[in-house]
Amino acid sequence: MKLSIEKLDLGGRRVFLRADLNAPLEQGAISDDTRLRGVVPTIRYALEHGASVVLASHLGRPKGATEPKYSLKPVAERLSALLAMEVPLAPDCVGPETEALAHGLAVGQVLLLENLRFHPEEEANDDGFAQRLAALADVYVNDAFAAAHRAHASIAAITRYLKPAAAGLLMQRELSALTRILEAPERPLTAVLGGAKVSDKIALVEHLLSRVDALLIGGGMAFTFLRALGHGVGKSLVEPDRIDTARAALETARRRGVQVVLPVDAVVAAGLDSPSGRAVSIREIPANQMGLDLGPLSVDRFAATLKGAKTIVWNGPMGVFEKAPFAAGTVALARAVADASAFSVIGGGDTVAAVNQAGVAERIGYISTAGGAFLEFLEGRALPGVEALTEA
């Protein structure tokens, strides 16, 4: 168990709050403020308990140099509206001017630092840079689970100089939801994996096979598994160098008594830009067509398995979900997850988008804001941002 912000005495202290404010921008304005809203409860908690807040984040990939298009100015503006108070933006994340602004904060005030990644030392987890960040505050709180798989200066090295290092409210919720899946799930535990490539998920498949009761595989990655079983899959996405790995995973599942559910039909078309597709059996995919979505029989089969689950974890779409003709399978699966009488956890941008598109977000047990960190945690890997926190 990691130390939580709720266990800190915050009265009169400056909190260095590492958040994930890496929100999408369109024409210089925030187009989706989900990540900003996610950290608001932690900011409010700190302010209500007598602290001031030095807020830090990255935005985009500016490659260690100042790029105006990656400025956190739009984030400061949106946060000011969300918090109903002024959130000024510092000219930089380190340096004398920023230090003076941080040290001049009164109780109940917030200062947003400029993009951490304008300095190459951030991604290098540089010790000296971490010390300069630590000099801005009295106590460290990390609420950026989505960046916790990165060993960066504001996530890892800073905790050597700023103690205690506590989890924010969002980080805590993420950790307890994911720990519940891995350590004490109510059974049956069913995992649903989609997305394009087996290579992106094979470590996760192998780790989950020792923990789950059933594994549902859709998306492009399913065709490598179907090929491993000897099916012809037309022009569908297959990773030839992963066929043996997929076959070995299926054998492991059989040995362990884990039910693996693969598609029995698919929506096929000539290519990604086809205006429509048609459902065919997996055995009848034409040689010149590719599978781009789960077929209706597969949706029913997946939904029937989910009905019996008590815990569900889902990552990755079931087809080329961003193209309207091939979104139906993913949306139907989102509804099936919501309809199940299970504690459900979903993570990854496309999966969250699918749940929102299906209109069932409020019926999901926990929606993770993270992509890479979500997967690495489920793979059983140690996350630098979590490891760096003080034990409770």
Angstrom distances, CA of residue 33 to CA of 43, 114, 225, 318, 338: 15, 18, 37, 25, 23
Angstrom distance (rounded) from CA 237 to CA 226: 11
Sheet strands side by side (includes 259-261): 259-261, 214-217, 189-193, 311-315, 343-347, 366-368
Angstrom distance (rounded) from CA 346 to CA 366: 7
Task: Tell me, yes or no, if 349 is annotated catalytic.
Answer: yes
Residue 235 one-letter amino acid: K
Considering 60, 64, 371, 372, which one is annotated as catalytic? 372
Task: Tell me, yes or no, if 271 is annotated catalytic.
Answer: no
Angstrom distance (rounded) from CA 364 to CA 359: 11
Task: Tell me, yes or no, if 35 is annotated catalytic.
Answer: yes
Largest Cα–Cα separation, the chain: 70
Angstrom distances, CA of residue 41 to CA of 6, 35, 70, 93: 12, 12, 25, 23
Q: Which residue has the tokens 């830009």?
A: 273
Considering 60, 64, 349, 380, which one is annotated as catalytic? 349
Considering 44, 73, 180, 197, which one is annotated as catalytic? 197
Residue 363 one-letter amino acid: R
Considering 14, 18, 35, 132, which one is annotated as catalytic? 35
Give the burial class of 271: count Cβ atoms within 10 A of its Cβ; 0-12 exposed, 13-18 middle, 19 or more buried. exposed
Give the burial class of 278: count Cβ atoms within 10 A of its Cβ; 0-12 exposed, 13-18 middle, 19 or more buried. exposed
Question: Which three-class secondary structure state does DSSP give residue 35?
Answer: helix
Question: Which three-class secondary structure state does DSSP give residue 127?
Answer: helix
Angstrom distance (rounded) from CA 253 to CA 268: 28
Catalytic residue ranges: 35, 197, 349, 372
